[in-house]
Amino acid sequence: MGPIQGPDAFAALYAVDEVRYVDELPAALLTPSAGGEPIVGADAEGRKIHVLSGVNTDSGSTVVGASFDGLADVGAAVESEVLHQTMIQLRAVKTPAELEVMRYVCKVSSEAHVELMKKVKPGMYEYQAESLFMHHCYFYGGHRHVGYTCICGAGTNAAVLHYGHAGAPNDAPISDGDMLLFDMGGEYARYGADITCSYPANGKFSEQQKTIYNIVLASVKAVEDAMRPGVSWPDMHLLAERTILEGLVEAGILVGSVDEMMDACLASTFMPHGLGHLLGIDTHDVGGYLAGESRSSRPGLASLRMGRVLEENMVVTVEPGVYFIDCALDKALATPEQARFINQEGLAAYRTFGGVRIEDDVVVTSDGIENLTLVPREVDDIEAVMAGGEWAAAKMERVE
């Protein structure tokens, strides 16, 4: 296994004052040194041992607190709540060093998406797109891992939200005429990107594809224009929903009053997920709900992984989507207060469309956002890149 590192190496790596083996901790922390004071306990002037312990509000997983012999005996000197809450807030709001890593991860992942746009073509299998993406991230960016299982859905597979998992491992062929939905992000130094690109496999948007794509893009722009510190993230989700409903009316798929559609919670039929989430060490990063807060039960908001007000240096994803999912559509059609807005003839033409999602990773700045995602988003730009055009924004300097 190579040379074994001692405590000093880990102290240097993590930039902390002191590192001890677990079996040394009782002596180091609980016993008074010669002439010195005990670190904690009756004579220790209220000093405490902070232990990381708590529940991740996104995954539901519990961090079980560290322990060592004798720790239970010092009772009140052990503090097991403050550290977890503090760490969550530290993770939700990024430091300049963290932002530098995330800029790099997003740049490498953007470049990999752009290279993939140039290489993918009908006749390939979805997994070959995954392989091209991962190879680019690793070979040129040093990203050994991706932050989550790659989602490479072609055609109707684009409407399967967590497609790509072991039971549906991106194993379908890509056909001419398919819309592609590629949700992939590299990981470096523990921080991951989470970027989704949607585009036509053959490089040229059909009218239908352009219609749905531009509805989603309008939703991204509406949200990103409105984002700044102090803005409520649930309000942004509702703004995204409203923009999508307006687009679907214009496309002839829905008819009637968008206000009434909002009251009927119709948008979650087409976007059955939240607008976005905090991003960092976890893809769905911690801190989306503060202690005591919980999710709204309203369809749409119930899927939102963050219920907070935006703060400067939070990194969040903006990822609205429009999908045509049979069971969701059938359910809405069977619900009179939703069905009355659906133009069944307009919808019929899109039943096997699949779906579109656009996902940016953005930093909240003092007066707006910085977009870390550097891929082409306009229809014309995507078509130009897929035809072989340069895309300087995501081009890394590198030695081949």
The reply to whether 161 sits near a copy of itself by the rule CB under 8 A is yes
Site for a copy of itself in 66-95 (CB under 8 A): none
Please list the residues that pair with 154 across neighbouring strands: 180
Choose the stretch contacting a copy of itself; rule: CB under 8 A; options: 159-167, 235-243, 274-282, 345-353.
159-167
Scanning 24-32, 95-103, 163-171, 347-355 for contacts with a copy of itself by CB under 8 A, the matching segment is 163-171
Q: Which of 110, 279, 92, 277 is nearest to 184 (CA)?
A: 110
Q: Which residue is nearest to Mn ion (CB)?
A: 194
Q: Does 2 bind a copy of itself (CB under 8 A)?
A: yes
Q: How far is the CB of 382 from a copy of itself (least distance, A)?
A: 23
Total residues at the site for a copy of itself (CB under 8 A)?
A: 27
The distance of closest approach from Cβ of residue 190 to a copy of itself in the complex, given in angstroms and rounded to an integer, is 11
Residue 167 binds which of Mn ion, a copy of itself, none (CB < 5-8 A, kind-dependent): a copy of itself
Among 52, 160, 226, 328, binds a copy of itself (CB under 8 A): 160
Question: Smallest distance, Å, CB 150 to Mn ion?
Answer: 13
Shortest CA distance to 363 belongs to which of 186, 115, 191, 117? 191
Q: Residue 115 or residue 194: which is nearer to Mn ion going by CB?
A: 194
* Nearer residue to Mn ion within complex by CB, 320 or 376: 320
Cβ contact 201:178 at 8 Å: yes
Nearest to 309 by CA among 324, 287, 280, 332: 287
304-323 residues near a copy of itself, rule: CB under 8 A: none
Q: Give the largest Cα separation in the chain, rounded.
A: 86
User: Of the two residues 39 and 316, which places its CB atom closer to Mn ion in the complex?
Assistant: 316
Buried b (16+ CB within 10 A) or exposed e, 358-382: bbbbbbbeeeebebbbbbbbebeeb
Contacts 24+ apart (CB under 8 A), 303-308: 303/268, 303/272, 303/273, 303/274, 304/233, 304/234, 304/237, 304/274, 304/275, 305/58, 305/274, 305/276, 305/277, 305/278, 306/233, 306/274, 306/276, 306/277, 306/278, 307/233, 307/234, 308/92, 308/232, 308/233
CB of 216: closest distance to Mn ion in angstroms?
14
Residue 134 site contact among Mn ion, a copy of itself, none (CB < 5 to 8 Å, cut-off depends on kind): a copy of itself
127 binds, among Mn ion, a copy of itself, none (CB under 5 to 8 A by kind): a copy of itself
Site for a copy of itself in 13-32 (CB under 8 A): none
How far apart, in whole angstroms, are the C-alpha atoms of residue 113 and residue 132?
9
Distance, CA of 400 to CA of 382 (rounded, Å): 25
Backbone phi, psi, residue 285, to 5°: -75, 165
Which residues are registered as beta bridge partners of 362?
Answer: 316, 371
CA separation for the pair 303, 321 (Å, rounded): 13
Among 163, 182, 188, 323, binds a copy of itself (CB under 8 A): 163
Q: Which is closer to a copy of itself, CB of 99 or CB of 168?
A: 168
Cβ–Cβ under 8 Å, residues 332 and 347:
no
Binding site for Mn ion (CB under 5 A): 194, 317
Q: Which is nearer to a copy of itself, 157 or 219 (CB)?
A: 157
CA distances from 29 to 36, 53, 65, 70 (A): 12, 19, 17, 10
**Strand ranges (DSSP E) for 207-352?**
315-318, 321-323
> Which CB atom, from 5 or from 344, has the smaller least distance to a copy of itself?
5
- Residues of this chain, 119-148, that bind a copy of itself according to CB under 8 A: 123, 125, 127-128, 130-132, 134-135, 138-139, 142, 144
Partner whose footprint covers residue 289, from Mn ion, a copy of itself, none (CB < 5 to 8 Å by kind): none
Nearer Cβ to Mn ion (133/205)? 133
Residues that bind a copy of itself (CB under 8 A): 1-2, 5, 123, 125, 127-128, 130-132, 134-135, 138-139, 142, 144, 157, 160-163, 165, 167-169, 171, 399
